[in-house]
């Protein structure tokens, strides 16, 4: 079973890229972020035509997450628990059934948090604390669980072209990275790092300043796996070539293969 995540930076701008990539990579489940539209105008038909069930949780203009799945959804639940007044569309959880049992997947668009001196950073940190609480509860189910998305967290120095330049950025501050470690310390595995320890694996290149041409990238899109998922991990990759397509997203797809029959 192949599971992927991709921040598309507007689903309506990127629908042709998405369908081309779906044909090429043939994932079973895809978590999308920054769809940037209301559910009524989400281009679900072109995805259903490729055999995907489509679950959306969007809002006007900003944020927005979705999950595509070849298997039917048993459950679909929007919103990260822990704050009833948080109205950002940043979280969507789904459960599908395989012959080996349930697989639980969440599409995550964690707040950026810049600039760090503002309530935007406070919101990010609180969101990360809520995510840890959610994860610790779900881990008790002892299911294959995949938390996939744009975390807006650079976990380590090897995950950024120029660490010194990012020292005071919300994506790389010690408090941010501490909370990412809280997640992994719960028993969640960073799938890319479990399979590849080389430096310079990036998932995002800024549109500005020729960042792509200079390979000034950062690794901020992650798939975190419960032990029951990590034990079945047989491959992982980053589809870097998609960044060179015409009018690309600034993020590229990241995917894993789990040995789960069905």
Partner DNA sequence: ATGGCCAATATGATTGGA
Q: Which two tokens stand for residue 26?
A: 């043939």
* Least distance in angstroms from the C-beta of 171 to DNA: 6
Q: Which two tokens stand for residue 118?
A: 């503002």
Residue (97 or 244) nearer to DNA, CB: 244
Looking up tokens 């595995």 gives 189
Interaction of residue 73 with DNA, rule CB under 7 A: no
One of 1, 22, 29, 34 touching DNA (CB under 7 A): 34
Q: Active-site residue among 52, 109, 134, 202? A: 109
Pair 236, 259: CB distance under 8 Å: no
Q: Please confirm, yes or no, whether 250 is among the known catalytic residues.
A: no
Pair 194, 235: CB distance under 8 Å: no
Pair 223, 256: CB distance under 8 Å: yes
Interaction of residue 27 with DNA, rule CB under 7 A: no
Pair 249, 6: CB distance under 8 Å: yes
Interaction of residue 36 with DNA, rule CB under 7 A: yes
* Least distance in angstroms from the C-beta of 232 to DNA: 29
Task: Name residues contacting DNA, limited to 149-178 (CB under 7 A).
Answer: 150, 152, 161-162, 165-166, 171
Which residues fall within 8 angstroms of residue 24, CB to CB, at 6 or more apart?
none
Q: Which two tokens stand for residue 232?
A: 């079945």
* Least distance in angstroms from the C-beta of 67 to DNA: 18
Which of 166-202 are b and which e, b meaning 16 or more Cβ less than 10 Å from the residue's Cβ? beebbbbbeebbebbebbeeeebbbbbbeeeeeeebb
Interaction of residue 220 with DNA, rule CB under 7 A: yes
* Least distance in angstroms from the C-beta of 252 to DNA: 12
Q: How many of the other CB atoms lie within 10 Å of CB of 40?
A: 7
Residue (77 or 114) nearer to DNA, CB: 114
CA pair distance 101, 119, nearest whole angstrom: 41
Pair 29, 105: CB distance under 8 Å: yes
Q: Active-site residue among 28, 52, 134, 150? A: 150
Which of the stretches 48-56, 67-75, 108-116, 187-195 binds DNA when contact is defined by CB under 7 A? 108-116
* DSSP code at position 26: -
Interaction of residue 114 with DNA, rule CB under 7 A: yes
Interaction of residue 60 with DNA, rule CB under 7 A: yes
Q: How many of the chain's residues bind DNA (CB under 7 A)?
A: 36
Q: Which two tokens stand for residue 18?
A: 């998405």
One of 22, 29, 37, 128 touching DNA (CB under 7 A): 37
Interaction of residue 7 with DNA, rule CB under 7 A: yes
Catalytic residues: 109, 150
The residues that touch DNA, with contacts defined as CB under 7 A, are 7, 9-10, 12-13, 34, 36-37, 60-62, 111-112, 114, 120, 150, 152, 161-162, 165-166, 171, 204-211, 216-218, 220, 247, 250
């Amino acid at each position: 079973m192949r599971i992927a995540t991709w921040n598309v930076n507007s689903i309506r701008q990127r629908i042709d890229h998405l369908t081309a990539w779906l044909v090429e990579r043939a994932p079973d489940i895809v978590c999308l972020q920054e769809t940037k539209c209301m559910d009524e105008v989400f281009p679900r038909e072109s995805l259903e035509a490729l055999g995907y069930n489509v679950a959306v949780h969007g809002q006007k203009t900003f944020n927005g997450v979705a999950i595509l799945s070849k298997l039917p959804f048993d459950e679909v639940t929007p919103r990260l628990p822990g704050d009833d007044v948080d109205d950002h569309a940043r979280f969507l959880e789904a459960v599908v059934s395989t012959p080996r049992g349930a697989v639980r997947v969440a599409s995550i668009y964690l707040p950026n948090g810049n600039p760090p001196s503002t309530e935007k950073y406070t919101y990010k940190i609180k969101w990360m604390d809520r995510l840890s609480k959610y994860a610790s509860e779900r881990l008790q189910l002892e299911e294959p669980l995949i938390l996939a998305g744009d975390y807006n967290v650079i976990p380590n120095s090897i995950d950024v072209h120029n660490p010194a330049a990012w020292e005071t950025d919300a994506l790389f501050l010690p408090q941010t990275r501490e909370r990412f470690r809280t997640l992994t310390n719960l028993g969640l595995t960073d799938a890319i790092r479990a399979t590849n320890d080389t430096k310079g694996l990036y998932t995002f290149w800024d549109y500005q300043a020729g960042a792509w041409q200079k390979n000034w990238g950062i690794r901020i899109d992650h798939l975190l796996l419960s032990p029951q998922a990590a034990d079945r991990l047989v491959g992982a990759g980053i589809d870097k070539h998609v960044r060179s397509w015409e009018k690309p997203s600034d993020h590229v797809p990241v995917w894993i293969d789990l040995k789960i029959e069905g």
